[in-house]
Structure 1
Amino acid sequence: MEKVTIITIAGGSASGKTTFAQTLSDKIFENHSVSHLSMDNYYKDFSHLNFEERQNLNFDHPSSLDIDLICKHLDDLKNFKSIQVPIYDFTTHSQSGKFKTINPSEVVIFDGILALQVEEVRKRSNIKIFIRTDDDIRFIRRLVRDVNDRGRNLDDVINQYLTTVRPMYKFFVEPSIEHADIIVPYYEGNKIAMDLVAAKINTLLSKSVNSEIINNNKIN
């Protein structure tokens, strides 16, 4: 069985986690197979509530996530098994009922605002990264994204940010930076940081592969 490395990326909402994860994936992909999971797809199914009730839920609290399913999927990928990832619908605040298949790979990149806050996820992570982005930049990016891509209105986005996103960031997300192995100051086009992190990870992966080859030779 091949060794699987799990890279976990955390940071505030709209901090650039997914962009960083995708860029990192592209840079690692040259030498290793990579798959990418987002914590956003693992919200619990609240379809039994009406739309207004779903709008008022606190999606920035760990209790909104299906932690058991996240851990099962990470364990399955660690054991080189395929998984069926649920597809979350942000326009309705509910699970879509659709799934996508993620096949086994040498490297799994898992990102989410609470990815380093959840101990069970940290235990399964080999490399832990925190993306640090200024609050005003994150708010502006979230505002544009939610209005343009998720069909939200301006007042609802601002209200959600003030009532749940910002306080949960201060209480849960920001303190999780202490668990990070690597802290990345992120801004658009921070190519140097991406290159440095990718190079470090590629080095670690290469050392792991070489070590495994040496150990196998000793056994033989």
Structure 2
Amino acid sequence: MLIIGIAGGTGSGKTTVVRKIIERLPQGEVAVLPQDSYYRDNSHLTLEERQEMNFDHPNSVEFELLVKHLKQLKEGKAINQPIYSYLTCLRSEETIKVEPKEVVIVEGILALTQCDLRDLMDIKVFVDCDADDRLNRVIKRDIVERGRSVNKVLDRYEKTVKPMHLQFIEPTKRYADIIVPQGGNNIVAIDILTHYIKKNLKVQI
């Protein structure tokens, strides 16, 4: 099993990079564990309180469970991945069963912030992108997918997204084995990364 960590700022193109890697690998051989699925359950809070939470701080993620699940997959055991809703800011009672695969990708803005999680990764990737481009994508995504107003998105960006990026996310570049500029548009970097994955899979087999 090859475990790949893919981090980068909000709106940097991580999801696109993951999708393009999957497209280039054998079908059915990749499992993805999104960090977003492991946001802590905050059902004890009101909806208004949950919507004001800082989702860009490492404390918002139940990394203990993510590390546990990753270890179980390495042991050849299936896991029940949580499902998290950005509309209600709650975990669903349902889960997604994930079987062990040849390649497991852990993807999220804070994926490289935790030492015990990094230690499980064979390849660590940081998806880099200009701040203005990231903000543009965040505005479009949060309005369409998460039902937020432009003012709400901009307010959150200034109060939490930008400062948390500078404090926690940007510094994890130094842990990356590969930095992918321009996000999912960098086909050359994605091809190199995919080639490396295929080569290492053959070595393992």
TM superposition score normalised by structure 1: 0.89
Q: Determine which of 112, 117, 131 is the counterpart of 1:135.
A: 131
Q: Determine which of 55, 63, 66 is the counterpart of 1:67.
A: 63
Q: Determine which of 5, 12, 20 is the counterpart of 1:8.
A: 5
Check 1:126–1:187 CA distance in 2 against 1; reply closer, same or farther (3 A cut): closer
Cα pair 2:16 2:184 within 8 Å, conserved: no
Q: Deviations over 1:24-55 (max 9, x none)?
A: 1221226x811111000000011211111112
Aligned equivalents of 2:46, 2:89: Cα separation in 1: 10
Verify: 1:28 aligned to 2:25, yes or no: yes
Q: Determine which of 123, 126, 140 is the counterpart of 2:122.
A: 126
Written as runs of structure 1 = structure 2, the 5 A alignment for 1:209-220 is 209=205
Q: Which runs of 5+ in 2 are unaligned?
A: none
Aligned equivalents of 2:53, 2:90: Cα separation in 1: 11
Q: Determine which of 68, 77, 92 is the counterpart of 2:73.
A: 77
Residue type matched to 2:114 in 1?
V
Residue type matched to 1:135 in 2?
A
Q: Determine which of 42, 46, 68 is the counterpart of 2:42.
A: 46
Cα pair 2:20 2:184 within 8 Å, conserved: no
Residue 188 of structure 1 deviates from its aligned partner by: 4.9
Q: Deviations over 1:56-101 (max 9, x none)?
A: 2111111111111001110011111111111100011111222111
Residue 208 of structure 1 deviates from its aligned partner by: 2.6
State the structure with more CA Rg. 1
Q: Determine which of 86, 91, 102 is the counterpart of 2:87.
A: 91
Number of residue equivalences:
205
Which is worse superposed, 34-43 or 91-100? 91-100
Residue matched to 2:166: 170
Check 1:158–1:122 CA distance in 2 against 1; reply closer, same or farther (3 A cut): same
Cα pair 1:143 1:158 within 8 Å, conserved: yes
Q: Which runs of 5+ in 1 are unaligned?
A: 210-220
| Aligned structure 1 segments of 4 or more residues deviating by more than 2 angstroms | 186-190
Cα pair 1:25 1:109 within 8 Å, conserved: no
Aligned equivalents of 2:56, 2:183: Cα separation in 1: 22
3-state DSSP class of the match of 2:91? strand
Written as runs of structure 1 = structure 2, the 5 A alignment for 1:198-213 is 198-209=194-205
TM superposition score normalised by structure 2: 0.96
C-alpha RMSD of the superposition: 1.3
Residue type matched to 2:178 in 1?
I
Q: Deviations over 1:149-176 (max 9, x none)?
A: 1111111111111101110000000000
Cα pair 2:124 2:178 within 8 Å, conserved: yes
